[in-house]
Structure 1
Amino acid sequence: MEWPVSVALAQAVSTLPVGKEVYYEPKMDGHRLVMWRTEDNVRLQTRAGRDVTSVWMDLALAGMQLPAGVVLDGEGIVYVDGRISFGAAQSRANSTLMRARALAERHPAHYAVFDILRHPEHGDTRGWSYRRRRSLLEHLLEEYGVGPPIQAVPTTTDVELARLWYEALQPQGVEGLVVKVGSSTYRGNSRQWRKIRHAETVDAVVVGYTGPAARPRHLAVRLPDGRTAFSQALRAPLAAQIAALLATAGPARQTRTAAGESFSAVGMDVVVEVLSGTTRHAVVTVTRMK
């Protein structure tokens, strides 16, 4: 398996899927991270393949509990006052090395692992069924005595328990459920899973902006159907977050949407949530950075 690995994704749905051999997991509100345990150390990658080990160093250190050759898929989460805080995870992900260390001391990160992509004895497990991978993951964590801050995400085939999780865990920062078929293999870049969230949003990839880089006015985002749309005017806090990322994103190039609207295109590892009811329009509503 070569670095970086392409991760499996989830398609948003409005109703909870049910059926035979369907598994349900709480959807943690954090940052997707793949954990690579090498012979000498631990590396962490984002879902886009960027190396973010330096800003999640506390998780990298925790990953040394694992045997060499393991690759795990999961979510980096941060608790604030007993609740999962997406804002705290976002601050960590977008911080400098020095600031990341300070944030880690104040609010240590946790790794909610939900899949195993490689095992030291069995090699690449992506072709295994989810049911078999999940059993292997649980056995690995138990065999090596792996504990917090690395923990397996709960899973169940009981739809009533899943519905209880969906309702009862929201105050703790759990944003919904991820649904997987027990016989399914792990396919990178495929929206093979399903997710149901309390907020009716979809993920969009930031591909550019309008206005000056130091104070962007609108975002250009690529929607799940491949279209590029502009966001509404950015509020000051979000504009400041985007500006900080643009400062390190390299030079932009001028391009146009299919409708002929110009914007500054830039390569960024940034995903935002937009209200699903606005994706039919040329202007979408961004709720937050993801």
Structure 2
Amino acid sequence: MGYDLDKKLVIAISSRALFNLEEENKIFEKSGLDEYYKYQIEHEEETLKKGTGFRLVKNLLKINEDFPEKQVEVIIVSRNNAATSLRITKSIDQYKLDIQRSAWSGGNNISKYLKPFKVDLFLSANENDVQDAINMGVAAARILPFDNAIDVESNQVRIAFDGDAVLFSEDSEIVYKTQGLEAFLEFELQHASDPLKAGPFAKLLRVISNIQSKYPEEKTPIRTALITARNSPAHERVIRTLNAWNVRLDEAFFLGGVDKYEVVNAFGADIFFDDQDVHLETTSKTSPSAKVPYKSESILNRI
């Protein structure tokens, strides 16, 4: 019987999201694929620096220490080929990360391999791969550059989410962007008892909640937060939605337009997911952040 990934939290991460490969990527952009491959092979013994997703992955993998059977599986999915993979796998070993599975596509699109690996979350620095994953129904986000040189180890993983177009659908955001704040507030009051539709990260939140349920609340290894620009009275529908989904969010911040980055930083997020550049430009300076490219044709055509 094959190894069962169905009941685990499965994170697929690209090598450029796990490690800092920005200099190597510049070689690829300037000199092409062959020079990039050559450089990686020549520097095979040099351990790669930590990338934006490193802290999240390391702290998530620590959850497995509490169980005889893994709860979290991390898989490397990369556009590198097998020949250049050795530098990456040697760096994984050097950092003592328990990552045993990988996929190397040799430059081809890697999103088509996410479903076979039962992926719950895909993190990459490649915008096209992330968008393809979202289109396939996989929670995905584009990692933004962040200096992870100072390692922050914790016994509790902290994950922060924006609301609309991340945990929830973009329906309410469309009303706000096309009709303005007053129309949005009126719409939310009228629909306060109607649960919001699920967004691209709703399933991920359910999987996380399943892990949390295996611990007493005060000892949960994952702490989650909603950090949204919504305010009262538009918060009511969000709370009712989470209750209807029977999922737990440990902390919630309804900021009403206040800048998010200080709250994200105070929460101590190992990763913050948002769909808007205006927020991510500031949060990515102080906390690992990733953009969810959840924009349908409907909103693009109507803004």
TM-score, length basis structure 1: 0.23
Higher helix share: 2
TM-score, normalised with respect to structure 2? 0.22
Bigger fraction of residues in strand: 1
